[in-house]
Amino acid sequence: MKTIGNIIVFVFLCLSCYIKAQQDESMKLPVNKAEINKATNLYKTDNTKEILTTFLRTALNNITSKEKSFSLNTTLYAIDSLFHLSKGSPSDFIKQTSFDFKLKANEQNSISSIYFGFTTAIVNNKDLKTKELDSKDFAALEKNVFIQADIKKSLHALRIKKEEISNQKIDSTKTQINSILQSLNKSSKYEDPCFAQIKINKRLRALFSKVNLSPDESHLKQIGFDKVLEGLEDKEINEVQTAIGGELEALKDYINTKELEFLNKKWDDAKKEGDFMMLTNDINQINFDRDVFRGTDDEDYKRIVKSYREGKDPLKMLYKEVAETYSRRMLWTVSPAMEYDRENKQGIYNVATKMTVGISNKLQRKPWEIEANASFKVSKDTLKPATNYDNQVGLINFGVNKVLLENKDNEPKMEFKFFTQLEHQFGKTSNFPKSIFSLNSTLRINLFKTIWLPITVKYDPDNGNLFGFFSIAANLSD
């Protein structure tokens, strides 16, 4: 129990590192690349994240096996972000290298070995922390950004035009009310102050119906004007004119400020949700050829404009498309490691290399991946009492991984991998077959957000043996 408690404490500390490093990460990447990189990590398969974690991965492996283990993989980038080890920008090695730690347990659930190593990328075309956007992707994003900025400017120009019309209506009402008050002052047309007040209120109600005020706002503003007009017969007409003029100028400021705040809120909500439906009426009033972009023969421009007119956010859509294509690209890693065998009191040495790549870089649903792995491990032949390194096992496997289920945002939620494996003994061991060929499959099920359940089945056709292993893993992304 003490060992398990220590493991939990260790995991907690690592999660703290993750949270802190995640906060720093948002400040280190340019905004566009950071958003695309974040989306790319969402589209990566869990199979890919197992090869090279994006930030932090913890797992309980082979829970149903005699040899179970607890593993933790965290990037050097996360550690560097926490302790600020790099004076300037971290090197590519730090950005794409993970520290690997594993505790293995025997049948009695006591720790049998401790594993230390690291995984670093030889080729990593999936991670934008270590590479620049392709020029064509950058150009497409840049065009979207410029058009979106111009659309917002045009919307503000439309708001100013509406503001001018609203101001004209208020000024017109102000002139009408002044005319009524002047007539009352001359005692020619409006001898009864109550009649004059009724006429003024009629003008105000007509004004409130023409400017952008809700019924509640109209009611509140009417109350303010009523207070000015109370006891009209006992007030100086000039005082009433001044007070009403002030109320109408305040109404101008209120409407204009409210319109600006409402437009900015609609814009911010639209960008956040990637849904411009609330702005389509305004956007369709924009003359794109004159006010926004002088490139009407550009097919990309026409497609972008069409999306905005339909209430969609082409910039957000392009972010997702670029992110998905990057998530399909090649990842090739090498992993040297050393393990200390506590039961036999000697070291175990291992080196592995893994490669995965999407079958197509193009945008697609439920993608396929090809994977090829190889490893070589040197350890003790346990049938020999003396210290030795006669157990020398080479392993090669090749397979495909297929996403079976995605959520509405096209993030993988269920995956199936089928792979063949050849294990060959190069050392001088006792009672151990030279080669073992097996057919294997792993079904990965997303239980909750970052929690995955990998179920691996191995079949040895030569001996008819069938083995099943359950694991559970949590993979946190930057």
Percent of the chain beyond pLDDT 70? 88
Is the model more confident about 89 or about 402? 402
Retrieve residue 331's tokens: 């990842």
Placement of tokens 């999407």 in the chain:
358
**Quick one: average pLDDT of 270-274?**
89
Cα(292)–Cα(270) distance, rounded to whole angstroms? 19
pLDDT digits (tens, 9 = 90+) for 87-128: 667 777 888 899 999 999 988 888 989 999 999 999 999 888
pLDDT for 275 beyond 60: yes
Is the predicted pLDDT of residue 21 greater than 60, yes or no? no
Rounded Cα distance, 21 and 219, in Å: 52
Return the SS3 of 37: helix
The pLDDT tens digits for 144-180 are: 888 888 889 889 988 888 889 889 999 998 898 888 8
**CA dihedral defined by 432, 337, 14, 328, rounded to 10 degrees?**
-90
Where does the pLDDT of residue 431 fall: very low under 50, low under 70, confident under 90, or very high at 90 and above? Answer: low
Convert the pLDDT of each residue in 296-346 to its tens digit: 567 888 888 889 989 999 998 898 889 999 999 999 999 999 999 998 889
CATH topology (fold) of 2-126+329-476: Porin (2.40.160)
Specify the range with the lowest mean pLDDT, choosing from 121-125, 184-188, 416-420: 184-188
Secondary structure percentages of the chain, helix, strand, coil, to 5: 45, 30, 25
Strands 97-105 and 68-75: what pairing? antiparallel
Sign of CA dihedral 152, 155, 157, 163: negative
Label residue 214 by pLDDT band (50, 70, 90).
Answer: confident
Is the separation of the CB atoms in 68 and 62 below 8 Å? yes
Output 193 or 118, whichever has higher pLDDT: 118
The residues pairing with 454 across neighbouring beta strands, listed in sequence order, are: 444
- d(C-alpha 133, C-alpha 85), whole Å: 27
- The pLDDT of residue 19 is above 50: no
Q: Which residue has the higher pLDDT, 349 or 10?
A: 349
Identify the pLDDT of residue 296.
52
Q: Is residue 361 over pLDDT 80?
A: no
Token pair listed for 54: 């994006």
- Determine the 3-state secondary structure of 288 from DSSP: helix
Mean pLDDT for the chain? 84
Residue ranges matching CATH 2.40.160.40 in the chain: 2-126+329-476
Residue 59 class from Cβ within 10 Å (0-12 exposed, 13-18 middle, 19+ buried)? buried
Q: Are the C-beta atoms of 442 and 467 separated by less than 8 Å?
A: no
